Amino acid sequence: MRVDPAIDADFYALEQLLDAEGRQLIMTVRDFMEKSVAPVINHYWTREEFPYDLIPGLAGLGIAGLACAGYDCPGGSSVLDGMIALELARVDPSIATFMGVHGGLAMGSVYLCGSEEQKQRWLPAMARMEKIGAFALTEPDVGSGVAGGLTTTAQRDGDIWVLNGRKKWIGNATFADLIIVWARDVADNQVKGFVVAAGTEGFTPEKMRNKIALRVVQNAEITLDNVRVLEEDRLQQATTFRDTAKVLRLTRAGVAWQATGCARGAYEHALAYAKQREQFGRPIAGFQLVQDLLVRMLSNVTASACLCVRLSQLQDQDEAKDHHSALAKAFCTVRMRETVGWARELLGGNGILLENQVGRFVADAEAIYSYEGTREINTLIVGRAITGLGAFV
Ligand SMILES: Cc1cc2nc3c(=O)[nH]c(=O)nc-3n(C[C@H](O)[C@H](O)[C@H](O)COP(=O)(O)OP(=O)(O)OC[C@H]3O[C@@H](n4cnc5c(N)ncnc54)[C@H](O)[C@@H]3O)c2cc1C
């Protein structure tokens, strides 16, 4: 089933905030996602495989690290970057996540925490997607509590750092060229970032299998066994977890956009289905209760998109704080989960068949809901900001 052109799902015409070039880029990305990704993605999703053949096409869109300026990066606005994330997720949340990990988490780490020389060294090839990045923060026993609880260690020995520990859930890590590994410096107990090249001795990624969500994304558990990294490959501007948090502030905003895209994709499929599916001799779109579901979905998508736009505008003004990103991530992912559930409901039994697409959005939403800070953790970040009282422990 082909989804109708989605102009009406941008209900408050937010794309009009973009200039002509930005709107053109949205159309180019939409076209690529609908023509090259949509027809094949269920094949890969079912098999837990990644469509490596699509990487050159994605690279050709020129959207990796979109909001980074200089270093052969596109240098677009955060608003445009967010709308692109929505556009990717609207067709497939796995591809949106792949790009979010590479262009957001990995390139963002180099951009925000690297020295001038490091940015020159790594960003151009990453922007062209000749080198793919991953971001390794989470550990098997430490997820929400990474700020204070990271157990992976980094020990300096002259010009060499030796990393030891384990990581879990690391997207793209089975095939990435550059993996940003966050580890605790045993000398000062602070979290630092290291760029580990694939194939480095002692660095072993193992693909995680049997996920029920984002099955196209290749997540890995990583073992770091005396991995030796040069001092020149330590991100020079990352000296405490506060620097890691700068990256997360940026990418959590991107995840709010992704959640909005995931919800919008499900809504659009549901709307198209409702118009063509007939029961009692008429399209189900003509029933009041079905219209109620559709309008609730559109309300969620529209409210989330408006919130995301304002967040991105604050980012572009350099005024976005951790709590702004956290509120958007928590709100939009809750609305997404509600929306994909309603879309599934609207398709009746057909909603659980992969071929009708909505089921994939329902499953993928579960991962987006939990990664980059769960609802609880993002709520606690906002709670601390508005009360002045931390309630994490
Ligand atoms: C598909 C996928 C992709 C991912 N990709 C990456 C990646 O590329 N790189 C990376 O580093 N990580 C990645 N992650 C990890 C992700 O960021 C973590 O899953 C997330 O931060 C939550 O950690 P956890 O799963 O260990 O849950 P836990 O921290 O164990 O939390 C379990 C539950 O307890 C709740 N909880 C914990 N602490 C509190 C508290 N103080 N108060 C109230 N409730 C609390 C949580 O909200 C949650 O509901 C990915 C995860 C998934 C699922």
Give residue-wise pLDDT tens across range 54-80.
999 999 999 999 999 999 999 999 999
pLDDT in tens, 221-278: 999 999 999 999 999 999 999 999 999 999 999 999 999 999 999 999 999 999 999 9
| 300-312 per-position pLDDT tens digit | 999 999 999 999 9
Residue identifier of the C-alpha nearest atom 42 of ligand 1: 392
H helices of 190-240, in order, are none
The rounded Å distance from CA 371 to ligand 1 centre is 6
Q: Distance from the CA of 216 to the center of ligand 1, in angstroms?
A: 19
In this model, does residue 7 exceed pLDDT 70?
A: no
Q: How close is the Cα of 164 to the center of ligand 1, in Å?
A: 21
Determine the distance separating the centroid of ligand 1 and the alpha carbon of 288, expressed in angstroms: 39
Residue whose Cα lies nearest atom 53 of ligand 1: it is 367
One-letter amino acid identity for 152? T
For residues 184 and 156, the answer to whether their CB atoms sit within 8 Å is: no
**Is there a contact between 305 and 14 (Cβ–Cβ < 8 Å)?**
yes
- What mean pLDDT is reported for the chain? 97
Distance in Å, CA 372 to ligand 1 centroid: 7
CA of 22 to the centre of ligand 1 (A): 34
Q: Which atom of ligand 1 is nearest to the CA of 392?
A: 41
Residue 156 DSSP symbol:
E
Residues 6+ apart with CB under 8 A from 253: 78, 82, 308, 311, 312, 315, 320, 324, 325, 328, 329
The pLDDT-based confidence of 8 (bands split at 50, 70, 90) is: confident
Closest-CA residue, ligand 1 atom 9, reads 170
CA 360/CA 213 separation, integer angstroms: 8
Give per-residue burial for 317-331: e unless 16+ CB within 10 Å, then b: eeebebbbbbbbbbb
Q: Are 157 and 150 in contact (CB under 8 A)?
A: no
Helices (H) and strands (E) in the chain, counts: 13, 9
CA Rg, the chain, in Å?
Answer: 21
What is the average per-residue pLDDT within 126-150?
97
Give the Å distance between the CA of 13 and the centre of ligand 1. Answer: 34
Q: How far is the CA of 374 from the centre of ligand 1 (A)?
A: 6
**pLDDT on residue 6:** 45
**Ligand 1 atom at minimum distance from 142 CA:** 26
In this prediction, what percent of the chain has a pLDDT beyond 70?
98
Q: In testing the pocket of ligand 1, which one of 219, 370, 392 has its CB within 8 Å of the most ligand atoms?
A: 370
Q: Each residue of 77-95: pLDDT tens digit?
A: 999 999 999 999 999 999 9
pTM: 0.97
Q: Which amino acid does the sequence have at 200?
A: T
* Ligand 1 pocket, residues with Cβ under 6 angstroms: 101, 135-138, 143-144, 169-171, 214, 219, 367, 370-374, 376-377, 392
Does the structure show a pLDDT above 50 at 292? Answer: yes
Sort strands 219-230 and 160-171 into parallel, antiparallel or unpaired. Answer: antiparallel
**pLDDT of res. 5:** 47
Closest atom of ligand 1 to CA, residue 393: 41
Neighbours of 140 (CB within 10 A): 13
